[in-house]
Chains A and B, each alone.
Chain A
Amino acid sequence: MTAVEQPPAQKWVGQGLRRKEDPRMITGKGRYVDDVVVPGMLYMAVVRSPEAHARIVSIDASGAKEFPGVHGVFSGEELDVAAPLPMAWVPPGVEVKTPEHWPLARGEVKYVGQGVAVVVGEDKYAVVDAAEQVLVEYEPLPVVVDPEKALAEGSALVHEDFGTNKTHEWSISGGDLEAAWAEADVIVERRIVNHRTAGAPIEPRVCIADYRGGSLTLHLTSQNPHLIRLFMAGELEMTEDSIRVIAPDVGGGFGVKIAHYAEELIAAWVSRKVGRAVKWTETRSEHMSSTIHGRDQIDYVKVGAKRDGTITGLDCRAIADLGAYYTLLTPFIPAFTGFVISGCYKIPALNFTATGVFTNKMSTDATRGAGRPEATHLIEVMIEQLAAELEMDPLELRRKNFIPKEDFPAEVAIGIVYDSGDYHGSLDKLLENLDVEAFRREQAELRNHPTHPVYRGLGFSTWMEICGLAPSRAVGPAGVGLQAGFYESSIVRVHASGSATVYSGTAPHGQGLDTSFAQIVADRLGITPDQVDVLHGDTGTGPFGLGTYGSRSLAVGGESIARSVAKVADKAKRIAAHQLEAAPEDIELTGGKFAVKGSPEKGLTIAEIAGAAYVSMDMPEGMEPGLEETTFYDPENFVFPFGAHACIVDVDVETGKVDIVRYVCVDDCGPAINPKLIDGQIHGGIVHAIGQALYERIHYDDDGQLVTGTFVDYALPSAADVPSFETDRTETPSPVNSLGVKGVGEAGTIAASPAILNAVIDAVRPLGVSFLNMPLSPQHVWSQIQLAAGRDVPADPGKQGGSWGEHGSGSAGSGPTSPSEGGGL
């Protein structure tokens, strides 16, 4: 290990240590799945549907099979797996229409990019050539891409058998909404579009399946290796012990690497069939068409308030475009919007109803935030819309309705209990870092400039979320109906010479958890984080775990480790007490030694204690040798991070282009384990939301063709498109776990989009624009300014369907706006 950290002046926890993960990654020595070579491995290419909905008339693979080096071509009918791909939500009392989702199409294709056949061969270029020689005859069928049109009478059907495109309806509610509307002086209603986006990690999906001697080893870009193994055991009719899934360094996930995808199952099946290892590396175009998308929710929102700003009720009817098939959690994701439909506010009456819809598109599923960015967006946009309607300061409106600090733990009207919070405190701190009065003066001066007026705007988002997935009783089969528990496993193993190996059932892929987990363990054993090795992402190294997503790895996985190391420390104390002839309760860890209270000089280091436990056996009578403990920790509740964000934008009213001038935020995820990593998560999360707000959109045209199939068309923000960020924190401990921590991986993304949107509306409100939807492309902003001025706007260029005012879901305006040029070299 190259990192030689100095002994701490205080505890390791709380320090912004540089990461243990980095030395290999900055030198090009990371080990990602595509870097792995298995001797003799073949390559696989997937033949994908160019049609959004069609019957497969015939597949002629004869040309492909003649290609030199090709070992096989397989279609859906030949791929005789024992079970279709899983979807894990069975909500009690709600029927979810669930189509069978086979890894390759059987009989019909239902979205562009759906796999129809695979080719395996010896050369990775040649298999692509061969795949182009697989001739598939399609008979086109009617296509539906707009979820609202899909719900209309007489729509084309994605799955004829169901007789409808409506998948299910799910609600969560509390209080009396009729009374809320009666009591309200003002009611505001909006249609808020949260358009379809891509998670788009820079590393695409990759797998290598190696079946030999009755066992399968699968290297996979996964956030979720243990669940993948469990599913594959069923699909391949193998026992779980004979499958090992390894997620080595994973190049980002953002939710899209949670699901169980067709390709890893196909590669495994083919490996067993042809007797060779099989590697598949996704192209970016395949990623855009055939890896899950996120969001795609149209929210009809109604909020009522009294004249003094007291909110009486909020109702949201969400239409969720789920695509043609389900991946692991597809229909469940909108429910996450429902769980936080009260936001930071005390609202006596609430309802959230999600209606799922099939369309001829790729599945939606969890991407960073998964349902909660949609919630924050709709709530925080509505707050500022309501404030405008009431002619009230939006911050005053928020303060009036915030759940007060003294109410925590606070149960909101839908029955969810928030663990801890200080929403007023968070906003107060934000305003210490941002002078709103000074901004308003500057804004007026800029607008009133006689020759070069600048339209600058300020928007806020006071956000909260629900994470730390999850208390099994709440979300499992007996709760909301996910078919799993959401505990997390850990092992802390102290070696005979005193260093430690930690195993976690989580599957980090960029979060820096090797470092934060090591900090937690080091403090509790009196060693340095360098002496703690952290293992994860390999089903061969430890017990079943649930993976990394839902901002759970520290609040659940970290707490599991804290509990394992506490058990280790407890045993260490008993060994120390035995040797020091004291009572175990009189032993404390001080200055790196387990010593009798008041006599720190005579203590034992963990290395000396481990030596006793493994080698010299100088232990209490009857004690088991060794120094290692395991924990399966199932949390009692979720955790509820929160914060306050402010965004300042300039809008070029001649072109509609939005520039972010300043971004200031205060976030609270409980006590910091490593503040450097928290800031990093917040920065990245905000930019993910900036991408959605300004640039990114997955766009299908009316024929179901994917228009944004590469990074040329799907515009991720670059360094030139975003500012640096002014971050700050408050620390409100969670009572749910001993570390007091809450999640932070999704926070920035959950928080930021409404702050940006509200800022843009604030900027252009003097021009008569009082509401906008995302993405805030120049075309969209400009056209809304024109329309507000009573001017016509030209028809949308290109065959993209819909009007300027519409977004996402196949009824969008023009294609995405490119941020600064990406292909600079």
Chain B
Amino acid sequence: MTTPVRVSMTVNGEQQTAEVEPRLLLVHFLRDHLGLTGTHVGCDTSNCGACTLHLDGDAVKSCTVLAVQADGSEVTTIEGIGTEADLHPVQEAFWEHHGLQCGYCTPGMIMAGVDLIAKNPDPSEKEVREALAGNLCRCTGYHNIVKAVLSAAKEGAHA
């Protein structure tokens, strides 16, 4: 084991500092050190996107980001965008349109959807499908995920 290094980042608005192995993945820092288990790991090769979160305002796959690379950054995870009592419009739309089944890809899918709408507030179906191409779902066939993202965009989720 190599010498631990100090990382410091803002996670969902709270300052977090820890001593970690340099090779520690950001997703494991969040899950194992901070207990934020909403961000999932599905493939280890950044194909499935279950680990998608926002790093300084962009959606990234946290299974291929080292915790040390996020030093000084702002990280937002699924736990940081809405709560059961106050859902984000994209979360609400996934619920309303049955955009999830087993729920495992869902946090990453929602974070990718939020990122898309922030950058393209009025996407076409084709644009939604292309924007979500880095997030795999084995349950829904994407039909209702696409419907949910389009609906959230229409409802003005970028605001």
Chain B residues whose C-beta falls within 8 Å of the C-beta of A202 in the assembled complex: 40, 42-43, 48, 50, 102, 104-105, 136-138
Contacting pair B110 A718 (CB below 8 A): no
How many whole Å from B35's CB to the nearest CB in chain A?
Answer: 8
Residue B101, interface by CB 8 Å: yes
Contacting pair B45 A712 (CB below 8 A): yes
Stretch among A14-22, A144-152, A805-813 lining the B interface? A14-22
How many whole Å from B87's CB to the nearest CB in chain A?
Answer: 7
Please measure, in the bound complex, the distance between the C-alpha atom of A27 and the C-alpha atom of B36, giving whole angstroms: 11
Please measure, in the bound complex, the distance between the C-alpha atom of A505 and the C-alpha atom of B48, giving whole angstroms: 31
Contacting pair B136 A28 (CB below 8 A): no
Residue B60, interface by CB 8 Å: yes
Which of A512, A719, A823 lies at the interface centre, i.e. has the most chain B CB atoms within 10 A of its CB? A719
Please measure, in the bound complex, the distance between the C-alpha atom of A25 and the C-alpha atom of B104, giving whole angstroms: 8
Residue B71, interface by CB 8 Å: no
Contact of B40 among A2, A22, A251, A680 (CB under 8 A): A251
Residue A677, interface by CB 8 Å: yes
Query: In chain B, what residue has the closest Cβ to A715?
Result: B47
Stretch among A30-38, A291-299, A320-328, A765-773 lining the B interface? A30-38
Contacting pair B140 A680 (CB below 8 A): yes
**Given known A-B contacts A27-B84, A283-B44, A822-B48, A684 and B101 have beta carbons under 8 A apart:** yes
Residue A300, interface by CB 8 Å: no
Contacting pair B83 A201 (CB below 8 A): no
Stretch among A341-349, A408-416, A459-467, A720-728 lining the B interface? A720-728
Please measure, in the bound complex, the distance between the C-alpha atom of A745 and the C-alpha atom of B5, giving whole angstroms: 48
Residue B128, interface by CB 8 Å: yes
Please measure, in the bound complex, the distance between the C-alpha atom of A685 and the C-alpha atom of B137, giving whole angstroms: 12
Contact of B38 among A27, A203, A283 (CB under 8 A): A27
How many whole Å from A137's CB to the nearest CB in chain B?
Answer: 28
Contacting pair A34 B125 (CB below 8 A): no
Contacting pair B98 A719 (CB below 8 A): no
Contacting pair A27 B101 (CB below 8 A): no
Contacting pair A719 B78 (CB below 8 A): no
Chain B residues whose C-beta falls within 8 Å of the C-beta of A511 in the assembled complex: 101
Within 8 A of A (CB), among B28-59: 28, 31-32, 36-50, 52, 59
Contact of B141 among A250, A509, A684 (CB under 8 A): A684
Query: In chain A, what residue has the closest Cβ to B52?
Result: A825
Contact of B84 among A24, A203, A677 (CB under 8 A): A24
Chain B residues whose C-beta falls within 8 Å of the C-beta of A133 in the assembled complex: none
How many whole Å from A368's CB to the nearest CB in chain B?
Answer: 9
Query: In chain B, what residue has the closest Cβ to A203?
Result: B104
Residue B74, interface by CB 8 Å: no
Residue A795, interface by CB 8 Å: no
Chain A residues whose C-beta falls within 8 Å of the C-beta of B144 in the assembled complex: 679-680, 683
Which of B96, B135, B141 lies at the interface centre, i.e. has the most chain A CB atoms within 10 A of its CB? B141
Please measure, in the bound complex, the distance between the C-alpha atom of A31 and the C-alpha atom of B91, giving whole angstroms: 17
Query: In chain A, what residue has the closest Cβ to B96?
Result: A18
Chain A residues whose C-beta falls within 8 Å of the C-beta of B135 in the assembled complex: 718-719
A-B contact pairs, 12 of them (CB 8 A): A2-B84, A2-B85, A25-B106, A26-B95, A28-B38, A34-B41, A284-B48, A677-B98, A710-B44, A718-B132, A719-B129, A822-B134
* 8 shortest interchain CB distances as A-B pairs: A28-B38, A251-B104, A824-B134, A510-B102, A25-B103, A683-B141, A28-B78, A687-B141
Where the two chains meet, the residues of A that have a C-beta atom closer than 8 Å to any C-beta of B are: 2, 18-19, 21-32, 34-35, 68, 123-126, 200-204, 249-254, 281, 283-285, 509-512, 676-677, 679-680, 682-688, 710-712, 716, 718-722, 724-725, 748, 820-825
